[in-house]
């Protein structure tokens, strides 16, 4: 990973540099106009956020039941990325919706469950930060519960809203839009891998530091 | 070996940050400019038109929202990258300092 | 009685005995729930009549808030005397300890609801007892779901710092489905044309939630509580 890191950094940076060009040249969406261009990073970021949440849940399970410290490092890195990506999704979404449909927020299933998921992982991070020593195991439990909770949140909000009219969030995808969308998704996937690698490395170095302190105390 | 690996990670992050910064400057402008190309209706070109009679895909109000969305995304990502880089730097410094202390000084005796 | 059930019984009995003698958590939680109902009433009652559906919402919010308080207090007691550690050291099955505590908390919350539910019915002219079985089912399933997650989290946080504020922070996002189901199910029963199938649907969702999360809690109780 250490040798790949600079290479991947350059590749991802290049993809992000090229992405605006692709986005600008993508077909113009007739009903929404310019504002629809948010879609090209809003959707990939949302997908990457769910990936990160999934990674965190799995890693927490492995840490809790398999007792592997490395899994805990991956879990905290993934949780921070959920927080970051969630912030991007939850700000870009309302900005798009305000222009396209005139409302900032609509309590539909997808939006609400994304918000709840984001809150659960913020709670995870708060617990790790302020819970004191030994909060890693507790947080892993919370992450596991959060994972299992996602379908329930989605179903309950979906069901809650069936009596209300639904606004469709995604228009049917024109062929010319698929290219930039997948490109951006690949770019964000690359960014996800990079950020995870850097963050896990930070945790590993911190663990080494702790061990060194303990060893020196003897 | 530790320092070689460390400097490679640093170099990678620095490199990525530099190119990303350039990309930010490009991306902030590109979509907004590109957006001007699609055809405008003739009504908007013929003199003064009151706001509520403009065609529905009025571009001007959209551009600030679009730029804001992209800007937030970029700022958030860069802020996170910077935060990880800074924390990593601090931990590496402490590790180096401890390494020096453990290497040079005699270990304190047990049971002081 | 097999050892598992015996442990559950003993833990629950211990909690209930302590509570019956001191009644501390019962009275304070009850009072808090009533104040909650009042405060929300001031928010949602206009010209002497409650906003539609307010009764259902207020009832479940009061349950959630007072439940969090009761959980915190119940485990604070354990922390204060280090009895939870003693329990964990005992040669019993850990999930049994969790179940015993859960049943104790449920008994406590049930006692609180015995007062709060009629109170809400009276204050908001809500016909909560028109369909008693369904209403009881919703209350039981909802409170169980809330308490199942809450007991685990409260036990987890016994030795953590900032535990008072962290319990609600962790608990509320996870119990959102319970609140939604509880409120919408109750509202379906309070509508002008009562929607029984809807209420039953929400009840079945609550039961499903309870099964999944009690299982998950039993499964994770030991790894989370031990080093």
Pick B30's closest partner by Cβ from A24, A45, A218.
A24
Would you say residue B34 lies in a domain?
no
Mean pLDDT of A179-189: 87
Q: Which residues of A touch B69 (CB under 8 A)?
A: 38, 42, 91-92, 95-96
Q: Which residues of B touch A191 (CB under 8 A)?
A: 77
Question: Which of C170, C193, C198 has the most A C-beta neighbours within 10 Å, making it the best mutation to test the interface with A?
Answer: C170
Degrees to nearest 5, angle at CA A209 with A208 and A213: 115
**Is residue A86 predicted with pLDDT exceeding 80?**
yes
CB contact under 8 A, A138 and C220: no
Q: Dihedrals φ, ψ of C44, to 5°?
A: -115, 0
Q: Dihedrals φ, ψ of C194, to 5°?
A: -60, 135
Q: What does the mean pLDDT of chain C come to?
A: 90
DSSP helix/strand/coil, A176: helix
> Distance (Å, rounded) from C-alpha A4 to C-alpha A7?
5
Would you say residue B18 lies in a domain?
yes
Degrees to nearest 5, angle at CA A118 with B14 and A150: 130
To the nearest whole Å, the CA of A176 is away from the closest chain C CA by 39
**Is residue B111 predicted with pLDDT exceeding 70?**
no
Q: In whole angstroms, what separates CA C179 from the centre of its chain? A: 11
Mean pLDDT of A185-212: 92
**Enclosing domain of residue B96:** 1-29+60-102
| Residue of chain A nearest B92, judged by CA positions | A205
Would you say residue B23 lies in a domain?
yes
CB contact under 8 A, A160 and C224: no
Domain total of chain B: 1
Q: Which other chains touch chain B, taking contact as 3+ CB pairs less than 8 Å apart? A: A
Mean pLDDT of A100-129: 87
> Distance (Å, rounded) from C-alpha B63 to C-alpha B25?
16
Instruction: Give the range with max mean pLDDT: A42-51, A97-106, B45-54.
Output: A42-51
Interface pTM, i.e. ipTM: 0.84
Would you say residue B67 lies in a domain?
yes
Among candidates C65, B87, B107, C112, which has minimal Cα distance to A216?
Answer: B107
> Distance (Å, rounded) from C-alpha C99 to C-alpha A165?
42
pLDDT per residue as tens digits for the range C40-51: 888 887 777 777
**Is residue A25 predicted with pLDDT exceeding 80?**
no
pLDDT bucket at B56, cuts 50 / 70 / 90: low
Range in A69-78, A205-214, B43-52 with the lowest mean pLDDT: B43-52
| Domains of chain A, residue spans | 4-22+38-161+180-217
CB contact under 8 A, C201 and A159: yes
Element (H, E) at B90: helix B59-104
Mean pLDDT of B87-108: 80
Mean pLDDT of C194-215: 92
Element (H, E) at C50: strand C49-50
CB contact under 8 A, B27 and A10: no
Q: What is the 3-state secondary structure (H, E, C) of A4-62?
A: HHHHHHHHHHHHHHHHHHHHHHCCCCCCCHHHHHHHHHHHHHHHHHHHHHHHHHHHHHH
Range in A89-93, C80-84, C198-202 with the lowest mean pLDDT: C80-84
DSSP string, B51-81: GGGS-SS-HHHHHHHHHHHHHHHHHHHHHHH
pLDDT bucket at A162, cuts 50 / 70 / 90: low
CB contact under 8 A, A137 and C224: yes
């Amino acid at each position: 990973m250490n040798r790949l890191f600079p290479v991947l950094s350059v590749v991802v940076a290049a993809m992000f540099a090229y992405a605006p060009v692709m986005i600008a040249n993508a077909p113009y969406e007739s009903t929404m106009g310019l504002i629809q261009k948010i879609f090209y990073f809003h959707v990939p970021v949302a997908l990457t956020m769910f990936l990160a949440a999934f990674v965190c849940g799995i890693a927490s399970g492995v840490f809790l039941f398999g007792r592997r410290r490395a899994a805990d490092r991956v879990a905290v890195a993934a949780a921070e990325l959920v927080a970051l990506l969630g912030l991007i999704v939850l700000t870009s979404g309302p900005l798009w919706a305000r222009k396209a449909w005139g409302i900032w927020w609509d309590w539909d299933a997808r939006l609400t469950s994304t918000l709840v998921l984001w809150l659960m992982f913020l709670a995870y991070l708060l617990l790790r930060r302020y819970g004191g020593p030994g909060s890693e195991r507790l947080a892993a439990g919370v992450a596991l519960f959060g994972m299992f909770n996602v379908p329930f949140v989605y179903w309950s909000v979906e069901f809650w809203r069936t009596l209300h009219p639904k606004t469709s969030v995604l228009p049917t995808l024109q062929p010319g839009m698929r290219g930039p969308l997948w490109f951006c998704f690949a770019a964000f996937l690359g960014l996800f891998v990079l950020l995870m690698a850097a963050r896990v490395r930070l945790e590993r170095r911190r663990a080494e530091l702790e061990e060194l302190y303990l060893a020196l105390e003897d | 070996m530790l320092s070689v690996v460390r400097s490679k990670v640093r170099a990678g992050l620095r490199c990525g940050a530099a190119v990303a910064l350039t990309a930010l400057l490009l991306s902030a402008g590109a979509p907004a400019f590109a957006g001007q190309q699609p055809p405008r209706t003739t009504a908007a070109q013929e003199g003064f038109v009151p706001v509520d009679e403009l065609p529905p895909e009025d571009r001007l109000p959209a551009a600030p929202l679009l730029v804001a969305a992209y800007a937030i995304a970029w700022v958030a990502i860069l802020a996170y990258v910077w935060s990880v880089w800074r924390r990593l730097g601090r931990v590496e410094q402490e590790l180096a300092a401890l390494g020096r202390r453990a290497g040079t000084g005699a270990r304190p005796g047990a049971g002081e | 009685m097999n050892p598992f059930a015996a442990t559950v019984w003993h833990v629950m009995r211990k909690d209930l005995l302590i509570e019956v003698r001191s009644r501390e958590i019962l009275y304070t939680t009850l009072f808090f729930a009533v104040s909650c109902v009042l405060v929300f009433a001031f928010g949602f009652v206009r010209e002497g009549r409650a906003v539609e559906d307010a009764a259902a919402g207020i009832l479940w919010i009061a349950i959630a808030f007072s439940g969090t308080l009761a959980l915190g207090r119940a485990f604070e007691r354990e922390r204060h005397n280090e009895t939870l550690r003693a329990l964990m050291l005992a040669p019993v099955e850990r999930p049994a300890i969790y179940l015993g505590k859960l049943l104790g908390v449920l008994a406590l919350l049930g006692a609180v609801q015995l007062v709060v539910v009629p109170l809400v019915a009276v204050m908001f002219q809500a016909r909560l007892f028109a369909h008693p079985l369904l209403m009881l089912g919703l209350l039981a399933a909802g409170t169980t779901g809330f308490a199942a997650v809450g007991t685990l989290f409260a036990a987890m946080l016994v030795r953590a710092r900032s535990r008072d504020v962290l319990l609600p922070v962790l608990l509320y996002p996870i119990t959102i489905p319970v609140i939604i189901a509880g409120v919408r199910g109750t509202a379906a029963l309070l509508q002008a044309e009562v929607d029984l199938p809807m209420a039953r649907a929400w009840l079945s969702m609550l039961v499903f939630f309870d099964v999944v999360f009690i299982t998950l809690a039993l499964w994770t109780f030991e790894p989370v509580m031990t080093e």
